Copies of this chain bind each other. A is one copy, B any other.
Amino acid sequence: MVKESNVDVLVIGAGPAGLMAGNALVRAGVNVRVIDKRPKKVVAGQADGIQPRTIEVFQSYGIAEPLIRQGNQMHLVAFYNPSPSGGITRDGRAPDVSAPSARYPFEITLHQGAIEAIFLDSMRQYGLQIDRPVIPTAIKLDDRPEVLESLDSYPVEVTLNHLSDEQEETSETEIVHAKYVLGADGAHSWVRGQLNFTMDGEQTDYVWGVVDMIPETTDFPDIRNRVAIHSTNGSCMVIPREGDVVRLYIQLSDDDAREVINAKGRIDKTRWTPQRLMAIAKRSFQPYTIEFPEEVNWWTLYIIGQRVASSFSLKERIFIAGDACHTHSPKAGQGMNASMNDSHNLAWKIAYVLRGWADPSILKTYELERRKYAQDLIDFDRKFAKLFSGKPRTEENHDGVTHDEFLAAFQQFGGFSTGIGIQYSPSQLTHPDNQPLAVQIEIGKRMPPQIVLSAANGRPYELQDFLPSDTRFKIVVFAGDLDAQVQRGRVEAFASGLGREGGVLKRFGDRTKGSKSGQEEGGEVKGIVKRKPWEEVFEILTVMAGKKETVNYTSVPTILRSHWTKVFVDDVDTQGVRGGKAYLTYGISPEGAVVVVRPDGYVGMVASLEGGAADVETYFASFMRPSTLP
């Protein structure tokens, strides 16, 4: 007899996209299951670059610490180009991260196994482990409207085969009935195949090799920086890794590329060796010397190509995420970051729908938001790959890529390639009005970091640490100077509007059943907090204008300060170093403003204090289901 079971969300694939989803969902209290076909987690190689925005996302889940502790940091990128005297010469170094608002102004490199282990450790604390090795063999969706519309139905049926660890033979078959399924099963996604979604895009002729190893010796002074080498011998990129490991991306010549591509147009790795890769690198590094070890940690070859899936979901019941949706060059460092941020975008939306708090239509914003990003990403990757794989400009080759062209592209795309510039399109969840009230808190982008001081004790905090991925909406009230009578009136009016009978807090915030939201693990906040009912859904933070020497947090209306830890003042710290620039940096006038930050850290709306309570209500009414009868 075949075993059958029900689950709210089934995640297929325990790579970065699947693990981010599993971790986010289990923390949100969702009944979730994650399966993977691999008997064990990966231990070396593969993707390994974590962008600044992704570090922020890790921090929002309280898991940035092990990432930062274990990983290598890239702060600088060095550019080497052909020297007139032969070999290469350094044309300069620049910050690796040029986005000015980056909270973490560096990229982290760490092997994928360690990154996955961070998720596995986190999930284990919530009682979730990966089912493996398990493969799905059939999937079908009951797409009758009455089934799709019901919150209680399990419209997706997936057949699973449990394999034995050793022989990968089937030992057990199971049928799972799921409310939602996420296919996070990689570039060759089985789920995508079953849904008949196509991968649209193109493949280039550029073939690159990758090798991870610890150099024996080198006099190359940038071996611990990210380096873009344009040499007449081909291009090369250096990516320093944790410990003393270095990854090299090495371009194959056209002849070499032809040699490794088989009749089907695919790479045949058996036709090549890591020693041949390192021999190319040795030539490209001249006049610097680099001695390689006999054994390498890991290596591979790949053809650069850029493709996006024709659709990201079937009826918003079956979704795909990560490499299943988009593929691109590894060395732009985008792949794993895009994958994890796909799931980060989707997870809280599924949680809200499952809890009955939000209309299922919000699930459509997943494809809206992430497809545009994926398309931008492959456009970027195409341009970057062309610039980097192209021949350098030299005396002999006047059509080549100049250093200035490359550098300009590198910096132009800084905001994008760091993940920080991503902006989601207008939708139910993203209301683009009132932007002038806070010009630099761009609606649809992530809430930028800023140091503020606790108004109660002057301790500096990163405001982002109060925006954890705990599935709550954050209402950030920039209250201005409460010692000014007029301003105090505005703030009190806003507070009354928010807290009135039938107002946002009571109408959408009173959730007496069925939810379990994460505590504040993301930040550093401690304290004995007696939550009000609406604090399951909303977190209210108040940022006053004023001086730490004179501000009184007790001046804030009580509804805007559920605890003394939730009130801040925009002033410089006791060392005179950090803080005091929030209003200025965000572009907020002394009259203040209100910013609603989505559970994923992206800005949903901006309102004024005067009359703003009604705007906030309109925002939430556009997708939230009332918690109480009107």
- A residues with a Cβ closer than 8 A to B are 69-70, 72-76, 92-97, 105-106, 214, 219-221, 223-225, 240, 242-244, 453-454, 456-460, 524, 526-528, 548-550, 552-555, 564, 573-575
Could you tell me the distance in whole angstroms from the C-beta of A490 to the nearest C-beta in chain B? Answer: 21
C-alpha spacing A97/B526, complex, angstroms:
22
Q: For residue A458, which residues in chain B have a CB less than 8 angstroms away from its CB?
A: 75-76, 93, 225
In the complex, residue of chain B having the shortest beta-carbon distance to the beta carbon of A574: B95
Query: Looking at the complex, which one of B224, B524, B573 makes contact with A456 (CB distance below 8 Å)?
Result: B224
Q: Which residue of B lies closest to A102 (CB)?
A: B575
- A549-B92 in contact (CB<8A): yes
Enumerate chain B residues within 8 angstroms of A240, measured Cβ to Cβ: 457
* Cβ A575 vs Cβ B457 within 8 A: no
Closest to A553 in B: B221
Complexed CA–CA distance, A550 and B575 (Å): 31
With A93-B548, A214-B528 given, is the CB distance from A75 to B456 under 8 Å?
no
Of all chain B residues, which has the CB nearest A563?
A: B244
A93 touches B221 (CB 8 A): no
With contacts A242-B526, A564-B224 taken as known, whether A75 is within 8 angstroms of B459 at the C-beta atoms is yes
Which residues of chain B come closer than 8 Å to A454, judged between CB atoms? 224
Given contacts A92-B549, A573-B75, A575-B105, contact A243 B528 (CB under 8 A): yes
B76 & A457 in contact (Cβ 8 Å cutoff): yes
- Establish whether residues B69 and A549, one from each chain, have CB atoms under 8 Å apart when the complex forms: no
Bound together, the chains give a CA A198 to CA B385 distance in angstroms of: 79
Complex contacts, A457 vs chain B, CB 8 Å: 73-76, 224-225, 240
Contacts of A95 in B (CB 8 A): 574-575
Which residues of chain B come closer than 8 Å to A73, judged between CB atoms? 457, 459
A71 CB to nearest chain B CB (Å): 9
Highest count of chain B CB atoms <10 Å: which of A96, A457, A460, A527: A457
Contact A244 B214 (CB under 8 A): no
- The distance in angstroms between the C-alpha atoms of A220 and B454, with both chains bound, is 15
Asked whether B106 lies within 8 Å of A76 as measured between CB atoms, the reply is no
| Inter-chain contact B219/A554, CB cutoff 8 Å | yes
A105: B residues at CB distance < 8 A: 573-575
Q: Is A76 touching B574 in the complex (CB atoms < 8 A)?
A: yes
Given contacts A221-B554, A224-B456, contact A574 B244 (CB under 8 A): no
